[in-house]
């Protein structure tokens, strides 16, 4: 991919994501949202999950954030608004929780369901908007290949193609696969924060003379106008490049509730407990998984 960068970004921090338990019997590798990296504006959480029935993520609430899932295995989603659907391998769901949602995400079928879950913060002006979903089947995700580089554009744009997904917080989410000996140069808006999460293989990121980095690492990128990547190995390299416009706002968080002040968190807890201000339907709703 030919794209001249004036100031390529370098890797400034690197973490190896460690498995931890989450939900009910599920295992995730959390790279953002753990004690070493609580928040990387505007990103709250990045989990690489691996779950098989009967484990999963049963009924739980959200307020004030975006929640994106891209799956390698089938995941059944349902919520208290009556929305229900199957997120199949390679599909994408982009949920804007806004003022409040209660939902469940449970594996469907046999075997492991794997994927990524990303939480993006919402600005104060968008925290209490109505919830919404954007769902795209794998075959409809914008994708292209050139010179040994393949990209699936989950959000934003790359290599001349653009995702139809609208994000309240300006975000890029690019799923790259590089064949051996291939080289990538990807522009990133210079004012945005950006990071890489490696899914498979190993690659050289930022500086050509730096050493290769392997799977399950998150790489925080410094300032610049883009990223360079080289695959010098004999195997395929797959990673996601995620970037977003910083909100520069205070963050108050209690689990899946993400607001700007502690007082707003207290109000959210009350709203959820008393089924008001967006949580009215939570009073009588239970997912099918909970009723089984």
Please tell me whether 245 is known to bind a ligand: no
Q: What are phi and psi of 41, to 5 degrees?
A: -40, 120
Rounded Cα distance between 81 and 101, Å, is: 8
Would you put residue 197 in left (φ > 0), alpha (ψ -120 to 50) or beta?
beta
State how far the Cα of 138 lies from the Cα of 156, in Å rounded to an integer: 16
Expressed in angstroms, the distance from the first to the final Cα of the chain is: 50
Collapsing DSSP states into helix, strand and coil, what is residue 274?
A: helix
Q: How crowded is residue 210: how many other Cβ atoms within 10 Å of its Cβ? A: 12
Task: Record the tokens describing residue 252, joined without a space.
Answer: 């108050």
Could you tell me which residues come within 8 angstroms of residue 123 by beta carbon, excluding any fewer than 6 positions away?
Answer: 168, 169, 247, 249
Whether 36 has a binding-site annotation, put simply, is: no
DSSP state of 53: T
Nearest to 32 by CA among 118, 137, 141, 125: 118
Local structure of residue 224 (DSSP, 8 states): S
Question: Torsions phi, psi of 221, nearest 5?
Answer: -100, 145
Degrees to nearest 5, angle at CA 182 with 180 and 184? 140
Collapsing DSSP to helix, strand or coil, 278 comes out as coil
Is residue 200 annotated as involved in ligand binding?
Answer: no
The verdict on whether residue 62 carries a ligand-binding annotation is: yes
Which residue positions form the known binding site for Fe cation?
A: 60, 62, 103, 105
- Would you list which residues are annotated within the binding site? 60, 62, 103, 105
């Amino acid at each position: 991919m030919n794209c001249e960068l004036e100031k390529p970004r370098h890797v400034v921090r690197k973490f190896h994501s460690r498995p931890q338990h989450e939900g009910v019997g599920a295992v995730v590798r959390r790279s953002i949202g753990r004690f070493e990296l609580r928040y990387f504006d505007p990103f709250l959480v990045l989990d690489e999950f691996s779950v098989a029935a009967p484990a999963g993520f049963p009924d739980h609430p959200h307020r004030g954030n975006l929640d994106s899932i891209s799956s390698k295995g089938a995941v059944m989603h349902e919520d208290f608004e009556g929305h229900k659907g199957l997120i199949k391998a390679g599909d994408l769901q982009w949920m804007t929780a806004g003022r409040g949602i209660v939902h469940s995400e449970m594996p469907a079928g046999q075997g492991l369901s794997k994927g990524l879950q990303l939480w993006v913060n919402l600005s104060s002006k968008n925290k209490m908007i109505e919830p919404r979903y954007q769902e795209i089947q794998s075959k409809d995700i914008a994708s292209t290949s050139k010179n040994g580089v393949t990209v699936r554009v989950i959000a934003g744009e790359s290599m001349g193609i653009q995702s139809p997904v609208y994000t309240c917080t300006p975000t890029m989410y690019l799923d790259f696969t590089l064949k051996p000996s291939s080289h990538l140069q990807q522009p990133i808006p210079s004012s945005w924060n950006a990071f890489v999460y490696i899914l498979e293989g190993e690659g050289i990121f930022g500086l050509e003379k730096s050493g290769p980095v392997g799977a399950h690492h998150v790489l925080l990128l410094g300032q610049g106008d883009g990223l360079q990547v080289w695959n010098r190995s004999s195997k395929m390299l797959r990673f996601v490049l995620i970037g977003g416009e910083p909100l520069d706002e205070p963050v108050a968080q209690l689990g899946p509730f993400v607001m700007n002040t502690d007082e707003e968190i207290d109000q959210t807890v009350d709203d959820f407990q008393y089924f008001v201000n967006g949580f009215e339907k939570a009073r009588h709703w239970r997912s099918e998984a909970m009723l089984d």
